[in-house]
Amino acid sequence: MRRILQGLRRLVFGQPIATDALTPVTLRTRLALPVFGAGMLSAVAYAPDAVVDALRRGSQQGAIPYMAVGVVSIMLLLGFAYRSNVRARPDNLGDYGTVRDLLGRRYGVVTGAALLVDYLFTVAVSVAAVTQLVAYLIPQLRPWVGLIGVGLIGVMTLVGLRVVRDRARVLLAVWFGFLLVVAVMLVYGVARHAAEASSPIAANPPTTWTIVLAYAGAIASGAVMVTGIEHLASAAPNHAEPRARRAGRTLLIAVSASAAAFLTVSLLAWSYRITGWADGPILLQTAEQVFRQPVTIWVVAVAAAAILYAAATAVFRRFSILASSLARDAYLPRQLSMTNDRLVVRGGILTVAVASAVMVVATGANVETLIHMYVVGAFAAIVLSQVAMVRHCTERLQLATEPGDRRRLARDRVLHGTAAVVAAGVWIIVAVFNFLNGAWLAIVMIIGLVALMHAINRHYAAVRGDVTLERKDRNVALPSATHGVVLVAQLHRPAMRALAYAKAARHSSLEAVGVQIEADAARELQRQWGKIDSGVPLVILDSPYRDLVRPVLDYVASIHRSSPRDVVVVYVPEYIVGRWWERFLHNKATKRLRSQLLGLDSVVVSAVPWHLESARDRRAAEEVPPPGEQLP
Amino acid sequence: MRRILQGLRRLVFGQPIATDALTPVTLRTRLALPVFGAGMLSAVAYAPDAVVDALRRGSQQGAIPYMAVGVVSIMLLLGFAYRSNVRARPDNLGDYGTVRDLLGRRYGVVTGAALLVDYLFTVAVSVAAVTQLVAYLIPQLRPWVGLIGVGLIGVMTLVGLRVVRDRARVLLAVWFGFLLVVAVMLVYGVARHAAEASSPIAANPPTTWTIVLAYAGAIASGAVMVTGIEHLASAAPNHAEPRARRAGRTLLIAVSASAAAFLTVSLLAWSYRITGWADGPILLQTAEQVFRQPVTIWVVAVAAAAILYAAATAVFRRFSILASSLARDAYLPRQLSMTNDRLVVRGGILTVAVASAVMVVATGANVETLIHMYVVGAFAAIVLSQVAMVRHCTERLQLATEPGDRRRLARDRVLHGTAAVVAAGVWIIVAVFNFLNGAWLAIVMIIGLVALMHAINRHYAAVRGDVTLERKDRNVALPSATHGVVLVAQLHRPAMRALAYAKAARHSSLEAVGVQIEADAARELQRQWGKIDSGVPLVILDSPYRDLVRPVLDYVASIHRSSPRDVVVVYVPEYIVGRWWERFLHNKATKRLRSQLLGLDSVVVSAVPWHLESARDRRAAEEVPPPGEQLP
């Protein structure tokens, strides 16, 4: 049974990977594009919907082209700014590293928290967008979108736990496949539109306030297109040499391609007067208008679902890597930095899986709701990162002497400054206009995370200070004596074994101790103890409130009072079970006793295992090592 | 903070009670009636509904009086039978004890399982009935009945954990109050009915099959009135002397009073042509017709809710007592038999609370659904108990010589035999006709419980056989030597303390062991170790798959291979934290290591505690014992 489980585990998660087997990943632009650019491109599947919807609410559909061009401008501005990021610091690992190194740990933590929240929402939005595609194609599945989303996240989790690197070639097909689909849509759409010559949408005259709201909403939604840029920029170390130039090129190509796709879908939606969301994803509605062929809509949907899935899995990995960096900097629990036998950071993947599943279920896999919570985190990181780069340029400028360098640095500083101001503007618009729609949740999450990470960091720092070995601690005084105390509930073989081990340890003094809950049982224990003639005295402790733990604690404390410099070693027999459900039948009191005893000073709690038959059987079955462990 | 919590705990749960403070409860009939008879009387609040509803479905409302008389006959028959139970065995603790002692453990377990399921449903039905009363009085609360039910169960749980004995006087008021309300209803109802002289309901001519279904359903539902009888019969040991006679009297009075109340409500409902359920609880509908005064309906509702609440709390206690008996007979996990410092069996109360809350929520607090699942368990126990009594009489008959005794025993045997046959008939009707309505669930639960209890019993028996000390085990050979192994992750003070304690223990050999995950860290550890000059060699174990546990296990196993008769004592430094959330930041690897090490033979795992500052602060705060512990 356990062998089968082991085999299954290997099948699902793969063979273990030795530390030595890991060579650094270096990709060429062609492969880096799909691996790290899926996030940005996939936003084309839901960002146009949000922009069109926001404008429709203010009856400003006529402004769609301007708004689309505005979004594309922001994308290109930040694209150039991040290219400069990447070129200046090709070894950085994303905005967290940039801000931490250039602005200090305090801002670094804020960036880290903002990015974690951003990644979380990226997964949730991408998954929700896939379920919306499914619900559009097969309306009968609409009531089950939450379940489908959770199922998808489950699959991603398994894959995330198994796979160290994506299959670059598959991702390549997914990435260019989606671009191709959009390009074909563009050609068909323009041709058909020219032939039919429909008139553009006339804008109604609404109030100024609705117009402002509509434009703000559209900018906030369009900003979704930019959120993938940090992921792209973080990929610089994974590029083959010349890293800096190559990574910059990847970044610009990915941004341009995504911008073009976004522009195509937005403009097609505008010219076909698609109003969005209420009737389904704009991408599919547009495809329906353009191709008027059910088969092609399925093709578009599959291409979109594939890129969304790729984006979500990439962000899964990215989340766990960032969490691991934060854990290594002692801002998150240490276990989040530990890799398993497949070199995967398991804790982070499970965290993001659970959190995004909660998000998807809580919002009913509703892209519209999620998108409003989404952009706040990403833009906070972008603003901080650009500010950091401004400082970086300023510092370098003070050191630079050559005119060419100085000119270049001054130019970059203007670029980063502009990017920072624009990003900050977008951030404020998003935070203000989407606040009640859900941005408050993202802000609360970021603030909560920052507080949590500071608390964790303070804790670890305090512990480090506490445990660090100083010169004076080097010659620890040995305890003057060790007292052995064997806990004896009944006179059975586990207790006798504990007694034997305790005797073999040759303590300065040794006693057996029993707790009296019922007077009869205690007398019987004493009678039996007399018979075995162990040479060890038995002390019976009275327990008027039927508590097993308190009397033992008091007894150990009394030993400490009479000889404060001694150590008390308490031997506790413990049943070891072989089947999971047997755990509920044993050791309840033992566990409580152990944890309370460990609260005392100068005490050692020694567990003496007694293997029940099921545990012995299990061990016998395990003697043959499972297949995975036989590797050299 | 902890002191406040401690104080709060004492306030909610009360002062601890010493074992000696417990004197046996002995009640006179007047007080025993409400304490143990609440369950049966409270069924009047929902049983008539089920009977009337079943007959209405077959258009057999005309048969209500006959059916009511039939139910009352069954009640009286079983009342006399159980009086004989109680008189013959005044010390028995309910049907579980009776069946176990007379028919053997195998049937005893079935009875125990059936009763546990019965109690569970009693709580669920009673709580659901209270919520129906509330929903009838305040229709706006109807959507929240599930929540109200869970809240009620929460209150009962707190009370159940605090209170050792019910306040008999309060129960007395509740019990006789309800009877009084029903009596007044009878008087008013008859008077008003005579004055208005409405004609009886005319029965339509339906098919034979619907009639059979209607009658079967009515019997199955009416049987609900009898389920409380086991609880009454189990109370014999709590009666003052002369126990047997007094307990028999209590039982008969309680059964008669409940039967009268049932008859009253059923006949009033019949003569006022109340059709039940769809429009609200029959008790309240009838009261509305009889009194035509909103205030009186509130009075009736409060009286009914009080008796239902009393019944549910009594069954709470009864469940935990039965669970404790079963645990003491090793059929349930041992911790269910442990009493806390208030002498309350906590495990059972929490179990029944959670399970009944699940029931209430899952059925939406629907009495109709619950009642169909309900009767199966109770009647299984009744049948088995009556069969057991038949055997009891037969055995006594073979020994009896005096004619008077023989006549009495023969008469009792007929009584018990008839009761067994009638109860079996009802059981079959319930099981067959309610099977699809929910009885299947109760049957599945009983079968599952029986299987579980047998598995637990087999396990405990196997363990007992395994650990029992035999003569040959008395002189356990001492291990020939003890090897000390100190786990050293880094060279910090916790590790140094563990090393000092290990040195003080004077093992035959002592080594420090570190696991190499990263080569640099391992080298650094080795360098520092060289500096401290501890006199103990440091062994670095390689871990190609970054696992901390496996290399240590292999190392300990290698020591055992070279010296099989020795014990290996592994010292594991463990961080002790003072705040709950700090637990997530420490000891993850330690826990895994500990549990895997304990799977080895001839090993002792010694935890050496290192108290973090928060734990030291907490201990300092606890030095002053909390108020409850200062009792003599």
Q: Give the range among A304-313, A351-360, A384-393, B542-551 with minimum mean pLDDT.
A: B542-551
Contact state of A478 with B503 under an 8 Å Cβ cutoff: yes
Residues of chain A found within 8 Å of residue B343, distances taken between Cβ atoms: 546
Residue of A nearest to B622 (CA): A599
For residue A478, give the chain B residue with the closest CA: B500
Distances A420 to A250, A254, A417, A432, A481 between C-alpha atoms, Å: 22, 21, 5, 18, 67
pLDDT of residue B582: 77
Residue B587: closest C-alpha in chain A? A335
Helices B440-467 and B105-137 sit at what angle, rounded to 10 degrees?
Answer: 140
The pLDDT, as a whole number, for residue A517 is 79
Residue identified by tokens 């008390």 is A568
| Residue matched to tokens 């009693």 | B122
pLDDT band at residue A628, thresholds of 50, 70 and 90? very low
Q: Determine whether the interchain pair B598/A574 forms a contact, defined as Cβ–Cβ distance below 8 Å.
A: yes
- The answer to whether A612 faces chain B, any CB pair under 8 Å, is yes
Structure confidence at residue A450 (pLDDT):
94
| Residue A439 DSSP label | I
Facing residue for B496 by CB, picked from A473, A575, A601: A473
**pLDDT for position A519:** 82
Is residue B256 within 8 A of residue B262, CB to CB? The reply is no
Assess whether pLDDT exceeds 80 at residue B154. Answer: yes
Is A339's pLDDT higher than 70?
no
> Tell me, what's the pLDDT at A346?
73
Which of A476, A485, A548, A579 to mutate against chain B (most B CBs within 10 Å)?
A476
The secondary structure element, H or E, covering residue B590 is helix B588-597
Burial class from Cβ neighbours inside 10 Å (0-12, 13-18, 19+) for residue A140 reads: exposed
As a residue count, chain B comes to 632
Read off the pLDDT band of B626 (50, 70, 90). very low
Report, as an integer, the average pLDDT of B23-51.
Answer: 80
Interface A–B counts its CB contacts (< 8 A) at 190
Q: What is the largest CA-CA distance in chain B?
A: 107
The C-alpha of A242 sits at a distance from chain B's nearest C-alpha, in angstroms, of 29
Phi-psi region of A575 (alpha: psi -120 to 50; beta: other; left: phi over 0): beta
Amino acid symbol at A586 = H
The CATH classification number of A30-461 equals 1.20.1740.10
The CA-CA-CA angle for residues A323, A327, A329, to 5°, reads 120
Q: Do A585 and B333 touch (CB under 8 A)?
A: yes
Tell whether A463 lies on the interface with B, counting CB pairs under 8 A.
Answer: yes
Question: Which residue carries 């002792």 as its tokens?
Answer: B604
Q: Distance, in angstroms, between A357 CA and closest chain B CA?
A: 22
| Nearest CB to B612; choose among A334, A466, A494 | A466
Computed over every residue of chain B, the mean pLDDT equals: 82
**Token digits of residue B68:** 């009511």
Q: What does the pLDDT average to over A463-492?
A: 78
Contact A352, A119 (CB under 8 A): yes
CB contact under 8 A, A599 and B609: yes
pLDDT per residue as tens digits for the range A104-160: 889 999 999 999 999 999 999 999 999 988 888 888 888 888 888 899 999 888 877
ipTM of the complex, rounded to two decimals? 0.75
State pLDDT tens for residues B199-233: 455 555 667 777 777 888 888 888 888 888 888 88
Nearest to B476 among A339, A462, A496 (CB): A496
- Interhelix angle for A367-399 vs A105-137, to 10°? 150
Q: What is the pLDDT of residues A117-132, one digit of tens each?
A: 999 999 999 999 999 8
B19 interface with A at CB cutoff 8 Å: yes
Question: How many C-beta atoms lie closer than 10 Å to residue B51's C-beta?
Answer: 31
Distance from CA of A531 to the nearest CA of B (A): 9
Query: What pLDDT is stored for residue A384 in this prediction?
Result: 93
Residues of B in contact with A585 (CB under 8 A): 333-334, 456, 459-460
Once rounded to an integer, what is the mean pLDDT over residues B302-309?
Answer: 91
pLDDT, mean of residues B327-342: 77
A15 token code pair: 């063979």
Burial A19-29 (b: 16+ CB within 10 A, else e): beeeeebebeb
The domain B25-461 is classified under which CATH number: 3.40.50.1980, 1.10.1380.10, 3.90.420.10, 1.20.1740.10? 1.20.1740.10
Contact between chains at A606 and B610 (C-beta distance less than 8 A): no
Indicate if the pLDDT at residue B58 is higher than 80: no
Mean pLDDT of B396-415: 88
**Cα–Cα separations (whole angstroms), residue A257 to A180, A247, A422, B283:** 11, 15, 21, 74
> Residue range A584-593: average pLDDT?
78
DSSP A558-582: HHHHHSTT-EEEEEEEEEE-SSGGG
Q: Is the pLDDT of residue B81 over 70?
A: yes
Report the distance separating Cα B553 and Cα A622, nearest Å: 13
Per-domain residue ranges of chain B: 25-461, 482-630
Contacts of B517 (CB under 8 A, 6+ apart): A19, B543, B546, B548
Contact yes or no for A600 and B609 at CB 8 A:
yes
Task: Give the amino acid at B230.
Answer: E
pLDDT surpassing 90 at residue B18: no
Q: How far is A135 from chain B (nearest CA, A)?
A: 29
Provide the CB-side half-sphere exposure for B75 (13 A, CA).
34
CATH of A482-630, one of 2.60.120, 3.40.50, 3.40.1350, 3.40.980: 3.40.50
Q: Is residue A333 within 8 Å of A104, Cβ to Cβ?
A: no
The mean pLDDT value of chain A amounts to 82
Q: Do residues A51 and A320 touch, judged by C-beta distance below 8 A?
A: no
pLDDT at A194: 64
Structure tokens at A82: 């991040």
**In terms of CA atoms, which chain B residue is nearest residue A498?**
B604
Which positions 498-557 of A are in contact with B (Cβ < 8 Å)? 499-501, 503-507, 517, 528, 532, 544-547, 550
Facing A466 at nearest CB: one of B496, B585, B613: B613
Q: Is A472 on the interface with B (CB under 8 A)?
A: no
Question: Fold match between B25-461 and B482-630?
Answer: no
